[in-house]
Copies of this chain bind each other. A is one copy, B any other.
Amino acid sequence: MPKNREQDVCEVKSVDKAKVMAVKKSMPSDRDMHNLSEIFSVLADPARTKIIYALSKEELCVCDIANILGNSISAVSHQLRILRNMRLVKFRKEAKRVYYSLDDRHINRLFNEGLKHVRE
């Protein structure tokens, strides 16, 4: 997203080297951190959190999801593509319709943990 001209990034002097070393050492890998924020990104949009909530309750076709959210079908379909790419949802076709459902064990726990946070 930014420019990252890789300049004066970290000629930054450490104040407490021991602490810094310890934290650096225990820090999860960049790869893990990247994946972690990626999964949180999915939940960082109200339309997507609503879709995930809805699908945690019922298997639904695109049309009914759009109806529940109050969004256009196209917008919902775009969001579903993101969820599909992240393998959070699966789908099956029935006649003209496509039915989506959750395809991830953990995502619901994440959702509920977040809701707890919101509600204090």
Q: Check if A44 is an interface residue, CB within 8 A of chain B.
A: yes
Selected contact of A110 from candidates B16, B22, B26, B113, CB within 8 Å: B113
Instruction: Count residues of chain A with CB under 8 A from any CB of chain B.
Output: 63
Q: Which residues of chain B are within 8 angstroms of A20 by Cβ–Cβ distance?
A: 60, 64, 67-68
Partner of A45, one of B15, B37, B48, B110: B37
Copies of this chain held together in the complex: 2
Residue ranges of A at the interface with B (Cβ–Cβ < 8 Å) = 8-10, 12-16, 19-20, 22-24, 26-28, 30, 32-41, 43-46, 48-50, 53-54, 57-58, 60-61, 63-64, 66-68, 70-73, 97, 104, 106-107, 109-111, 113-119
